[in-house]
């Protein structure tokens, strides 16, 4: 059994799509908003909600009994996509690229994906 067989890739893909549809537009908009604006906080919260939702969908729809593995995988993929788009936008907008911000976003993404996975796992147990 290879690592590819240890995932329900259709479930991961569904989680990625849900999160990308919300997170990427918010990330693009955030690249053009002043860092001290209240809108920055709203956009950051929307991105975290997107990650929780994507993780939830991946965990809820997977068929292998590994909800957290699927939720975190989906959100890490979205994080990678969002970082590429965000870095390109920050470069085009001539804004600084901050490694500390990238790392903190990564950790928040892991937390959000885990929350989505735990919610899905808890809901599955109570059914």
Give the tens place of pLDDT for each residue, 104-125: 999 999 999 999 999 999 987 7
Please, which residues have CB within 8 angstroms of residue 121's CB and are 6 or more apart in sequence?
59, 67, 68
Length of the chain equals 127
Range of the domain at 115: 3-126
Number of domains making up the chain:
1
Identify the sign of the CA torsion 102, 121, 54, 61: positive
Per-residue pLDDT of the chain (127 residues; tens, 9 = 90+): 576 778 999 999 999 999 999 988 887 788 788 878 999 999 999 999 999 999 999 999 999 999 999 999 999 999 998 888 878 877 887 888 889 989 999 999 999 999 999 999 998 776 6
């Amino acid at each position: 059994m290879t690592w590819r067989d240890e995932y329900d890739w259709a479930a991961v893909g569904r989680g990625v799509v849900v999160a990308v549809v919300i997170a990427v537009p918010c990330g693009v908009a955030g690249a053009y908003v002043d860092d001290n604006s209240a809108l920055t906080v709203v956009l950051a919260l929307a991105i975290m909600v997107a990650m929780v939702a994507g993780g939830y969908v991946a965990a809820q729809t997977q068929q292998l009994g590994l909800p957290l593995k699927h939720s975190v995988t989906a959100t890490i993929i979205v994080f990678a996509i969002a970082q590429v788009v965000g870095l390109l936008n920050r470069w085009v907008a001539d804004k600084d690229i901050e490694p500390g911000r990238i790392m903190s976003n990564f950790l928040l993404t892991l937390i959000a994906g885990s929350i989505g996975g735990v919610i899905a796992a808890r809901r599955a147990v109570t059914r």
